[in-house]
Amino acid sequence: MVCGIAGIPLFFVLVLPIVAIVLGAVALSRVQRAGGRGRGRAWAGLVLGIVGVLLFVGIVVIGALLGWYGDDVAADDLEVGQCVELDVDDTEISSLPLVDCDEPHQAEVYLVEDIEGGDEIPDTDSLIARGQELCAGDAFEAYVGTSYEQSELEFYTVYPSEDTWEDGDREIVCLAIRPDGGDLTATVRDTAS
pLDDT digits (tens, 9 = 90+) for 77-96: 899 999 999 887 777 787 88
The mean pLDDT of 7-31, rounded to a whole number, is 70
Distance, in Å, from the CA atom of 159 to the CA atom of 111, rounded to the nearest integer, reads 12
pLDDT at 131: 93
Going by pLDDT thresholds of 50, 70 and 90, the confidence category of residue 7 is: very low
- Is residue 174 over pLDDT 50? yes
Distance, in Å, from the CA atom of 2 to the CA atom of 48, rounded to the nearest integer, reads 9
- Is residue 20 over pLDDT 80? no
- Is residue 66 over pLDDT 70? no
Closest CA to 133 of 117, 152, 118, 155: 155
The SS3 of residue 9 is coil
Mean pLDDT lowest among 45-54, 59-68, 123-132:
59-68
pLDDT at 3: 41
The mean pLDDT of 117-125, rounded to a whole number, is 85
In this structure, what DSSP letter does residue 177 have?
E
pTM score above 0.85: no
Distance, in Å, from the CA atom of 111 to the CA atom of 79, rounded to the nearest integer, reads 8
Going by pLDDT thresholds of 50, 70 and 90, the confidence category of residue 107 is: very high
- Percent pLDDT > 70 in the chain is 87
Closest CA to 153 of 89, 107, 98, 112: 107
Spell out a b/e string for 12-49, using b for 16 or more CB atoms within 10 Å of the CB, else e: eebebbbbbbebbeebbeebeeeeeeeeebbbbbbebb
- Is residue 68 over pLDDT 70? no
pLDDT at 64: 59
CA dihedral 103, 188, 81, 164 (to 10 degrees): -90
- Is residue 62 over pLDDT 80? no
Mean pLDDT, rounded, of the chain = 83
